[in-house]
Structure 1
Amino acid sequence: MPYAKAADGVRLAHQTRGEGFPLVLIAGQSNNHHWWDGIRADFHGTHRTITFDHRGTGDSDKPDIPYSTPGFADDVIAVLDDLGIGRADIYGTSMGGRVAQWVAARYPERVRALVLGCTSPGGRHAVDRGADIRRSLADPATAGQALKDLMYTPAWLETHPGPYQTLGDPAMPAYARRRHLLASHRHDAWDALPGIAIPTLVVHGSDDRFNPAANAPLLAERIPDSRLLMIPGARHAYFEEFRHIASPAVREFLASVDD
């Protein structure tokens, strides 16, 4: 298992597949690289896909120290440095999209194109999920089914019994799960977004209540010259259930960006 070493010494497990221009795929909160298992091959005709396990997940180290989305962005750069990659396309979803915002804002010379999926700017400008959703996720009796329903449509769940790779790393320590939650909750890139001058595509499911769909136009309006794709009927895991729409759209966008 190859590992990169972050500036603070934390080891970050990373995985590479395919050939072509580098594409870093950044998973959501409390998830490891398996988040991307269902779709990463969609990009192997044009890209070399790079995933990694966030600190606190998978085969990466799990220090009991504060985490943050800017810190996760530094981890992305540590992985690129370990692989000897100077510049890459970045595709982040959910909390991974929050991390991707900081990669683009803080390290613009390392990013050719940016895709932000089912994410938000964070802070007071973001549209938060409803109190009913927070309650259902906080109750152990309802949290499992509630999360599935927020990720996928009933039709998908009926025909795809799992296992699902988007519901969290089951081996993640409880303290690391709490630190991921806090890092995502404290994200606020609002002031940095207008400075992103990298070609950007914002993608969101129209029926996403986990990270409300209203956050997508906020991002698209805040990032200069960005594009917006709303996928009708899709929930939070649009990239998997609606891959027949999302993956071709992302590939087309990346192909349109000049080196």
Structure 2
Amino acid sequence: MELSTFELLVKPIAPRFPAAVPGSGAITAVARRAVQGYFLTISNLETKDLTFRLEFVISKPNPADPDRTLFNNADLLVDIAGANTSIALSGGVTATSFSGFFRLPAGQTASVQLLPKLSLGLLSDPNPDLEIRGYVKLTLPALFKNIREGFVSQSATPAKVLLNPEIRGTFLPNNYPATLTGDFDQINYALAIASGKALNEVAPEPSRPILIGPILTDVLAEMTTEVPPQLIEGTPLEQAQSLVGLMAQLDFSPENLQSFSDLLSKLEIPIQVSRK
């Protein structure tokens, strides 16, 4: 389901002018830098644990601009009732879609946060220009169970959730971080939900098999049926590493290796295996 818009900022809230421009000092005094992130409060109203996927679709920078993409500029975190836990945010340097998975126990509420990745260099810049906006999609993905069953739907019916998306941020004093005192004002406002309501139902993705040939079926029959969590929720690199570990259980005949390469391709992992 389409959830809401989002916007990340590390940027002055108004244009600044050179010191030679009359009145520039007064303008600079109010054109403070804003640090702004996206927060989603989500409650799982079902009686079983569920794994959700959040997808952030950004406006494509034109021309390409490293300050207009989530790549290397954002952290995705989740907090249920303790410390923040990092979520792997997939998406490359030219991507316009970035996604992450998180598991939410039955009856629990989580805070999911997409925050600008801060550094001392960025905070020391008097005129930073990080500005990323787009929209958010929430899905209930089918999860990979094992080779024979493929991807299995998490539910037979839509999952009920409560949703509250927000923007939260801070205005930095103009002399920060040279001095650590000053006026740190806060901003916090709710975003419109696409459905127009807080109580929503997320349709589950249907089960789907992995279409594989008879050779691969025989080869993988003796592999472990429980797939490592990295294959379900990991980054592409973690998924590849997990599959390489499973590959150690195979007989390295040319037919088996080719079949395994076909499986990697079907899982959208660009690795071709061969014996040298």
TM range (shorter): under 0.3
Q: Which has the higher strand share?
A: 2
Give the structure-1-normalised TM-score: 0.21
Give the structure-2-normalised TM-score: 0.20
Greater C-alpha radius of gyration: 2
